[in-house]
Amino acid sequence: MSALRTASKRKSAINRLSPGEAAFGIVVYGTLIFFTLACLFPFVNTLANAFSSSNAIQTGKVLLWPVEFQWDSMRMILADNSVIRALLVTVYLTAVGTALNLFFTVITAYPLSRRDLKWRGLFMKFMVITMLFSGGMIPLFLLVKSLHLLNTLWALILPGLISAFNVIIMKSFFQALPDELREASIVDGCGNIRYLVQVVLPLSGASLATIGLFYAVGHWNSYFGAVLYIDNPDLLTLQVKLRNILLLSQMDTSMEQMTMQSNFTVIQESLKAAVIVVATVPILVVYPFLQKYFVKGSLLGSVKG
């Protein structure tokens, strides 16, 4: 009897939404939608600015879509040689850098994933210490300088070649592969290297994609390294070029322009927006893939290595 009553009580409790719970629901949905839109809005606004006329931007008419549509800003940016050059440099850096990153991360993570490797604990400690303490900006700069890497792209690739954090994530992934696979391959006379190449790697697609994307986004977005180590204008990366354009016009707008220069300034607004768009589009194109693999990657990362 009482069991029946409890069951029906439970059922009706689920169906009936108390006013408190209804209000709660509204708050939750409302806040989420608000934050999501707030997150998105600045991007949409910038995109709109990139294609709007100077007049429209100046009078604050541009909100979510272009007002008085124009291609000129975009065309100016895409036709500019130094921008194209920076773009190519960055593409090269991202491709080569990521490939090297992945290669070295994999060959480091694989041995560490093998429980039968006697001295792996030692190496793990050796690696984790570097995550806790570092020499800092100056000693690293002096080192790069003394290695004659200044003003080369290697200064951007080598110091970050192996990320201890990413090694740990990849190691976790390798460790999740069943031991039986390895045991079976030993029976077949398969050596360590063959096992890695022919068994582990094909099964590691998701992990390779995730870590690869981590590294690639890092390369595409990094600017401080380039600012620090490179002053050759032909070797600027896209973000540094973007920064130069933004800073230059930032100085103009903060100095309360006189009418004579106001046109120049306003066109600058649209130009700035256009450069931002150019620097961002590749990321956006890759975004759906990033999404899928990054979520997986964060899951792996949240498990203690």
Partner 1 sequence: MKQAKAIRSHSSGAALKEWKKNYDLYLFLLPAVAFFVLFSYIPMGGLIVAFKDYNIFQGVWGSEWTGFENFKEMFSILEFAQITRNTLVLNLLGLLICFPAPIVLALMLNEVRAKVLKRVSQSLLYLPHFMSWIVLGGIVYAVLSPKYGIINEILRWFGMNEIYFMADKGWWIIVYTLSAVWQSAGWGTIIYLAAITAIDPSLYEAASIDGAGRIRKIFSVTLPSIMPTIVILFILAVGNMVSIGVEQPLALANAVVGDVSEVISTYVYRVGIKQGEFGLTTAVGLVQSVINLVLIVTANHFAKKAGGEGIW
Contact 80, 64 (CB under 8 A): no
Q: Does 12 bind partner 1 (CB under 8 A)?
A: no
Kindly state the smallest distance separating residue 273's Cβ from partner 1, in Å: 7
Q: Binding partner 1 by CB under 8 A: which of 126, 232, 248, 261?
A: 126
In the block, tokens 């977005």 appear at: 221
Site for partner 1 in 22-41 (CB under 8 A): 24-25, 28-29, 31-33, 35-36, 38-40
Nearer to partner 1, 28 or 95 (CB): 28
According to CB under 8 A, which residues from 240 to 279 bind partner 1? 240, 242-243, 246, 250, 253-254, 266, 269, 272-273, 275-276, 279
**DSSP code for 235:** G
Degrees, nearest 5: CA angle 152-154-139: 95
* DSSP code, position 163: -
Q: Are 150 and 144 in contact (CB under 8 A)?
A: yes
Residue 206 CB-density burial (10 A; 0-12 exposed, 13-18 middle, 19+ buried): middle
> In angstroms, rounded to a whole number, what is the distance separating the alpha carbons of residues 15 and 13?
6
Q: Alpha carbon 151 to chain centroid distance?
A: 24
Structure tokens at 114: 């093998």
Instruction: Pick from 26, 68, 69, 139 the residue near partner 1 by CB under 8 A.
Output: 139
Residues between 148 and 207 with contacts to partner 1, criterion CB under 8 A: 158-159, 161-162, 164, 167, 191-193
Minimum distance from CB of 64 to partner 1 (Å)?
Answer: 10
Asked if 141 is part of the footprint of partner 1 (rule: CB under 8 A), the reply reads: yes
Among residues 26, 88, 99, 128, the one that binds partner 1 under rule CB under 8 A: 128
